Structure 1
Amino acid sequence: MPTYGYARVSTTSQDLELQRKALQAAGCEVIREEKVSGTSRRGREELKTLLEFLRDGDTLVVTRLDRLARSMDDLSSIVTELQAKGVALKATEQPVDTSSAAGKAFFQMLGVFAEFETNLRKERQMEGIAKAKSKGVYKGRRPSIDVEEVRRLRNVEGLGATAIANKLGIARTSVYRVLGD
């Protein structure tokens, strides 16, 4: 039965070489790769293509489960889709093999821990931002809308929300938010 590999890193500056070598060593005949965040399935065209292509009896190999998904919901969804097609999932660096009962149980435990790790990372990030804000170091993203210009166009030039949005190249809802309409 054919064995397919999937490799993913989150940013374009990261390298896929280690994953590629591990997947080749695992006997993958085809390896799909992408450099995109794994927090959701949106924008992951290589994964989408692979999931559409896999057939009964095939095996999907990843190096670690977090290369496939970052949340338990996404991971469960992907595995449910694979199981419905009769496709096994294996990980080269983790004892995951969904073709066995023990492998399925271990897979579920790893998925829970991967999601837990992601949530902890988000909490630490938010704590760091709060600390930086309290010191006046972090001010967030600079405003992309000139509030005074929006008000001037409305009050002085008498333009409506659509005309203001078109003139400033912003969304009409942003104009409404500024004007409080």
Structure 2
Amino acid sequence: MDEETRDEQQEQDGQEQQEQPTAVTSEDVAAMIAEALKKIGINPQRSAREEAEREADRLARMSDEERREYKMKKRESDLDERENRLLLAENKAACATILAEKGLPAQLADFVVDADADTMKRNIDQLDKIINAAVETKVKQRLASASPRSGSGGSVESVTKESFRKMSLAEQSELYRSNPELYKSLTK
């Protein structure tokens, strides 16, 4: 009997240890990622190093003139890329300003910004039209479905003290909300 209870206790302890969550450190995550990349045949550290080696190899095989030309083209492409990023950032700022002027949230700039200012302006105008149409549709739907409150369409003055006494508590409270002066005069 003692052995059986001891086995059950050990089994329960083992289950409790399995149920307790273990803290995962950044090293554990890095190891898991590296292991997964190795399984699919990718080593990110090696690929960046290999790319640099390939670049150095390519440059070593080139003549001085080809090397100068290659470096110049690479600088030009880097400058073009920077210029495009800067232009896009400037256009995004301008877009946010235009959106704010139109009463639209500046967060929409990500959706309409473009490298070309004319295209961006058309995108903003189109977005403005779409949002205004959607808002107008929703407003019309709400106005069409809203039922008039009791007592607001008819003559409120037709309520007499006698008819007030016959009203339910809900009707009296509605009258209080819609016409407090009349309610006060009827309760005197």
TM-score (norm. length: structure 1): 0.26
With a CA cutoff of 8 Å and minimum separation of 6, indicate the structure with the bigger relative contact order: 1
Whose radius of gyration is greater, 1 or 2? 2
Higher share in strand: 1
